[in-house]
Structure 1
Amino acid sequence: MRDIVATAPADPGLNNVVVRLGGFHLLISFLGSIGKIMSGSGLEELWATIYTEGSIPQMLLGKAYARAVQAHLLTNLALAKIILDSMDLDDELRNFLDDVLADPDRTHVLDTLNEESCGYFSNLFEQKLKEYEQRGPTAKLWIQYYRMTCLLKQFLEAEPTGNWTLHVTTIRKMLPFFHASGHFIYAKSTHVYLQDVALLEEKMTRMEFEKFTELGFFIIRRRKKQFSGISPDQTIEQTTMRLGKSHKGVTVPGRGITDNETSSEQHVDMRSARIKRDNEDAEKLDSWFAAHQPFPNILDIVSIGTGIVGDETTNCHLAEEEGTKMMTKKNDTFGLLTFQRRKAVKPLSIIMANQKVKDTVVPIDPMLLFHRMTITQATVADLQSYLQYELSPYPMYLFDESGMRKGTKSSFYDAFWPLASQPSFGQNCFNVFNGEFLLHKVKWKKDMSKTSVANTLRISRHCPVGKTAMIFYGFSSESDNAGTKSTERLRPPTRYTSPPIQFDIITVIQMSQENFFGKRQQ
């Protein structure tokens, strides 16, 4: 539609038309940007406490719209409580906050410019956010997530209330995150949309411009209720199409499209059942954050859910800065505007699934890859041909069908004769035990803490009784001290791999024992 308007400037019917960017689909794309930047950070494990694991991938993509919005708002609330509890507030300011929270008039929106106490508190809160950002990349990532969800809340306020200024300001702040997350279609469209609305006053009469920007005529209202405005594209998607498929259908009695259903004056989010469910979910999120601090004072970027440590390419905590850099380098026209996906930020999930292409580490989304393969295939035979080839041929004297050739350790044990009876070493013997053997021999379950695992090892029947020393072998990565075992560690893993993991005694293991002991990615 924007291309049609741009190619017909002399048409009297189109020369004053400005194409409206659909707020509903824009918000879905922004939800996907947040999910892309935060993937692998621990957000999935956090949401798993209140949602089923199968729905979380769709929530991160923004496809499960209602659940994704609710989950982000609850997470924003949990983070705000952590930040607020760490602030040193005087009695006067605390009394002000208590009065605001106890106000039954929920239609009143606080204005930091006109309310002195609110502006003072906002400045203190912003200082605390900057203080947390200085703790390290992990804390900066979660502060950045808090700011992104605040933009989500501002957009959800601007559309239903018809606040044009807040609408434009919020979209402008979203723009760097579209670039950083690789959502380039909406990045290009948002650029053009902001340029068009900057010239909006020149294409409208003064009365039309005032109605559009001050009275909220840029959104659609079906009823005269507070917070009832919806975007035009959402009207088409969720209202007009739904009514057309209903058994009563759509009626047009000379007043436009209406439906024959009546609704309650109470907002769906203000029902007692929803409030009760949200309070329970908020408590679960608070409990999870109590065991997984979102603002740790560490120099590495770490997933607070799994303990996976990012490498030097992981820059998801710099999404706003990297997105701004990508914006400032674009001087081409809309038709010539191009973006490079490899310049998008690398989330923590890239540590678990990535592939190097021409010296560039590219994150691999197995579901997206499978979708593209199934779309391009014409027959089942095509899919079989996709899966039967490797990236390059291997010399068969070094590799076989399953990977690099490797000797069988079990054949080495055949050279030892088993003992007929258990030997006795006396009372003064000192047992030296292979700790790596014990860790692999004793099984533990997923979601166990390190303390539980240690207790399991201590009472294991494999552990000898008496004075015992448990030894764990390390292998040097330096070339001067490297031996045959160090070379063996460079062998490509055949089944289980695991990135570097940072944990302490209270960390809960979020992966299987096989993956936990898998070969560490270099």
Structure 2
Amino acid sequence: MHWKVKLYKTYKNCYKRKLSRTSKLWLCFLDMVAILKRFLIAERTGDWLLHLSTLKEMLPYLAASGHNLYTKSAYFYLSQMQNLESDHPDIHAHFMNGKHVVRRSDRFWAGLSTDLVIEQVLMRSVKSTGGLTTGRGMGEIQRALWLLSIPTLAEYNHTMQQLTGTGYKTSDQHIENSKTRMERDNKDSNLLTEFLTDRNPFTNDKTLRNIETGMVADSDAYADEAKTVGDKIIESIAGNLVSEISFKKKDQIVTPDAKRPSGSNISQQPQVDPQLMFQRLTAVGQDKNH
């Protein structure tokens, strides 16, 4: 536990000073992880408002990292959903009740995104025995017949379960609440804490560096400014039609490991933090196993 306390104190001091670019990059990373966790909560629990807010938070990072199609689709999706309550109040009411996700069981933490269900259920059925890819053909008539017959087959399946006294039921306990899963998660958390304790990213070092290898990024790499860069890109597409939106590579972030243009004056020779390298060599020398 003392590792976590020490790491948190160092992080807190660094956050106040805002000196280290490496620390700033890790703060961006932690922000993205937090957004992803909130998005998973929204999907699992069917929280419509949280679903929209987390998607909005993702936009700057998607734009800055060059995921142009995701950025464009998510931006216009959010724009349309803002008017959902006035344009389609009945659908909005269903979504507010958690029906924007699909549930295959009645457990609270069991909501699934529609695209995930399509991939796991519909596409798997298409490719399995009795599906469309096993000799039936993929013509329009075959597809329509196969899709329209699914509700009838489901009724047959339900009736046969009642007749034979069998059924498929899920446990009240989610797999992530099992003792084995919690022990594994706790072990992984301790390993990560140990790793970050030895390679603390929250220092007063002003450079942008790889905490594992000690390599220092070139001056034109600014991945630590992802949020700011992404916000500017989102502002630039506001109010434009879909056909008018275009993204430029020069407006996106440059990561430390990105390939430089052939005419770039930036040195391709990797830079290594000498102090960090000395610390690593000292640690190896003190290890009896080496």
TM-score, structure 1 as length reference: 0.44
Give the match for residue 197 of structure 2: 290
Does the Cα contact within 8 Å between 1:138 and 1:302 map onto a contact in 2? yes
C-alpha distance in 1 between matches for 2:88 and 2:195? 52
Structure-to-structure mapping, 1:151-166, within 5 angstroms: 151-166=35-50
Query: One-letter code of the match for 1:265?
Result: D
- Asked if 1:320 corresponds to 2:227, the answer is yes
SS of the aligned residue for 1:296 comes to coil
Does the Cα contact within 8 Å between 2:208 and 2:216 map onto a contact in 1? yes
- Asked if 1:505 corresponds to 2:278, the answer is yes
C-alpha distance in 2 between matches for 1:83 and 1:199? 48
Give the match for residue 216 of structure 1: 98
Shift in CA distance, 200/81, structure 1 to aligned 2, threshold 3 Å: farther
- Asked if 1:337 corresponds to 2:238, the answer is no
C-alpha distance in 2 between matches for 1:257 and 1:336? 51
1:163, distance to aligned residue in structure 2 (A)? 0.7
Does the Cα contact within 8 Å between 2:14 and 2:20 map onto a contact in 1? no
Structure-to-structure mapping, 1:95-114, within 5 angstroms: none
- Shifted more, 326-335 versus 153-162: the winner is 326-335
CA distances 1:388-407 after superposition (whole Å, capped 9, x unpaired):
xxxxxxxxxxxxxxxxxxxx
Structure 2 gap segments, 5+ residues each: 132-148, 159-166, 283-290
Structure 1 gap segments, 5+ residues each: 1-77, 88-124, 362-489, 491-496, 510-522
SS of the aligned residue for 1:153 comes to helix
Structure-to-structure mapping, 1:81-160, within 5 angstroms: 81=4, 85-86=8-9, 128=12, 131=15, 134-160=18-44
Give the match for residue 162 of structure 2: none
Give the match for residue 170 of structure 2: 263
Give the match for residue 240 of structure 1: 122
SS of the aligned residue for 1:166 comes to helix
Does the Cα contact within 8 Å between 1:160 and 1:229 map onto a contact in 2? yes
Give the match for residue 355 of structure 1: 260
Does the Cα contact within 8 Å between 1:178 and 1:186 map onto a contact in 2? yes
Query: One-letter code of the match for 1:212?
Result: F
Shift in CA distance, 130/506, structure 1 to aligned 2, threshold 3 Å: closer
- Asked if 1:252 corresponds to 2:175, the answer is no
1:245, distance to aligned residue in structure 2 (A)? 4.9
Give the match for residue 167 of structure 1: 51
SS of the aligned residue for 2:103 comes to coil
C-alpha distance in 1 between matches for 2:269 and 2:229? 28
- Asked if 1:192 corresponds to 2:76, the answer is yes
Does the Cα contact within 8 Å between 2:229 and 2:253 map onto a contact in 1? yes
Query: One-letter code of the match for 1:252?
Result: P
C-alpha distance in 2 between matches for 1:256 and 1:338? 49
1:298, distance to aligned residue in structure 2 (A)? 1.1
Shift in CA distance, 132/507, structure 1 to aligned 2, threshold 3 Å: farther
Shift in CA distance, 159/81, structure 1 to aligned 2, threshold 3 Å: farther
Q: Highest relative contact order (Cα 8 Å, sep 6+), 1 or 2?
A: 2
C-alpha distance in 2 between matches for 1:152 and 1:131? 22
The total of aligned residue pairs comes to 253
SS of the aligned residue for 1:262 comes to coil
What RMSD, in angstroms, separates the aligned Cα atoms of the two structures? 3.3
The structure with the greater share of residues assigned to helix is 2
1:346, distance to aligned residue in structure 2 (A)? 1.1
Does the Cα contact within 8 Å between 1:133 and 1:139 map onto a contact in 2? no
SS of the aligned residue for 1:226 comes to coil
C-alpha distance in 2 between matches for 1:506 and 1:360? 31
Structure-to-structure mapping, 1:40-59, within 5 angstroms: none
Percent identity at matched positions?
A: 28
C-alpha distance in 2 between matches for 1:200 and 1:83? 48
Does the Cα contact within 8 Å between 2:101 and 2:113 map onto a contact in 1? yes
Which of 304, 329, 333 is matched with 2:211 structurally?
304
Shift in CA distance, 143/195, structure 1 to aligned 2, threshold 3 Å: same
Shift in CA distance, 322/133, structure 1 to aligned 2, threshold 3 Å: farther
Query: One-letter code of the match for 2:58?
Result: M
Does the Cα contact within 8 Å between 1:161 and 1:227 map onto a contact in 2? yes
C-alpha distance in 2 between matches for 1:255 and 1:248? 14
1:85, distance to aligned residue in structure 2 (A)? 4.2
C-alpha distance in 1 between matches for 2:248 and 2:155? 45
Shift in CA distance, 135/326, structure 1 to aligned 2, threshold 3 Å: same
Shift in CA distance, 133/231, structure 1 to aligned 2, threshold 3 Å: farther
SS of the aligned residue for 1:266 comes to coil
